[in-house]
Amino acid sequence: MVFEGTVIITDNQTEGRGQRGNFWEANSGENLTFSLILKPNFLKASDQFQLNVAISMGVFDFLSEFIDGNLKVKWSNDIYVGDKKMGGILIENFLQGYQIGHSIVGIGLNINQTEFSNDKATSLKKITQNPLKYDLSDLLKKLLENIEINYLKIKNNDYESLKIRYLSNLYRFEEFHYFRKNGQQFTGKIIGIDETGKLGIETDENVNYFDFKEVEFVI
């Protein structure tokens, strides 16, 4: 039996994956890459995006202790500083009837790595210009504490306050930018998310809501 709160640390992440099958690059021993087992059986399957919001804000709160400004959550749950990606979250939910039975929360955060093949990637060390290496064990403990705080909020039916914070720290929220759907580029403004977590984008014509694989950001 696997208990809720179990953490599986992956020191050498060679084939990490994220939304849309993107590759995740992380050098051995320099970053935080782990999976967290949760059992949010208090959530209906239709409300599973609440877990995304809670985990994202837990990571955001943790990083806010080190990063001033420009820290954002990119829908649905990537971590950006400016226009550069610092980390990602991938949640796999396993249903029991109409409820979530258990969830595997995969988190990858660039911490001490300073060189990347992708120029759109960054790390905590690069952002803060810290000459010393961060202690990964200490950071993991603090990160898990922040995740627990936000996880308990949805468990205690306090999702609305989390959603407000999620939107206020959402990458490109209420700004006009380019997006792409089915290979076609368009201009739109993110106005929010619906109850299932779909992204609301306003264009000149109307407002459309997109699922995870239906729209991409042009960065």
**Each residue of 122-148: pLDDT tens digit?**
999 999 999 999 999 999 999 999 999
Burial of 153 (0-12, 13-18, 19+ CB in 10 A): buried
| In a shared domain, residues 49 and 88 | yes
| In a shared domain, residues 92 and 190 | no
Distance CA 84, CA 132 (A): 22
| In a shared domain, residues 141 and 180 | no
Cis peptide bond prior to 56, omega within 30° of 0: no
Range of the domain at 180: 176-217
DSSP state of 211: -
pLDDT above 60: residue 7: yes
| In a shared domain, residues 99 and 200 | no
Give the model's confidence band at 13: pLDDT under 50 very low, under 70 low, under 90 confident, else very high.
Answer: very low
Global pTM? 0.92
At 88-104, the pLDDT tens digits run 999 999 999 999 999 99
Q: What angle do CA 28, 122, 15 make, to 5 degrees?
A: 40
